[in-house]
Chains A and B, each alone.
Chain A
């Protein structure tokens, strides 16, 4: 039963542990899915989302959950963030919504952010364009929840 299979971690990691979680998620879903492409895409989303959550968490705590919802595999991260960071996140999602083509948006950010010295500003766009996943943002108080979803409708488990 797909809907019973999930991972949830709530912890105070440092960024050096993000790769460990990515590998764990990849190994976990390798046992459940026979689709290396999906596993690779979900692993990429896991790394990018969790790295952001860890980097910007104001209380150092981050939470990640990866699970099956209907015919989708969903990666969600939660972290407390500053008001400024929440505003930046809202802006980033508004920009994504304004450009329906994920690849056009991604390449545009590559050009615009090439000379950035603080962060890449590419993580979310990379998930959308390279991992072919849809993204949503939900803000509850000072907690940001980012959700990345890929459809499994055509994948046999």
Chain B
């Protein structure tokens, strides 16, 4: 059975972790993704993408349920990640499914923007 090696992000204000679940990676982001969290998020997503490709997963599920806010710098990290997936050979591409929190209203707008940006790769689960 394949495993992934992605150390969780901990620390003040923001946390993230990932685990392999069958053919998908389950990711959870929590807290506030803003400038203080930016470098940690970048490192986490870079490693996540590399491991997802190595593991040959078909999907990465990203849980935003406990994500209070994401600034534009961290949103750009998501955009860059989606671009990385889009630039993979078709056979290596995977889908990214964001699970949003209906009560956190910015998520609907920001995730819709990501979906419109890359409709073939991004799905949203409300």
Contact = CB atoms under 8 A, between A and B. Distances in A.
The residue among A43, A44, A113, A119 with the most chain B CB atoms within 10 A of its own CB is: A44
B88 interface: no
Majority secondary structure, A binding face: helix
A48 B71 contact: yes
Interface in B8-24: 13
A63 interface: no
Majority secondary structure, B binding face: helix
A51 B71 contact: yes
A59 interface: no
Interface band, chain B: 20 to 34
25 contacts: A15-B35, A16-B36, A18-B35, A19-B13, A22-B69, A40-B104, A40-B105, A40-B106, A43-B106, A48-B72, A51-B34, A103-B116, A110-B117, A113-B76, A113-B79, A114-B79, A114-B80, A114-B83, A115-B83, A120-B72, A120-B73, A123-B71, A126-B75, A126-B113, A130-B113
Interface of B: 13, 32, 34-36, 69, 71-73, 75-76, 79-80, 83, 104-106, 109-110, 113, 116-117
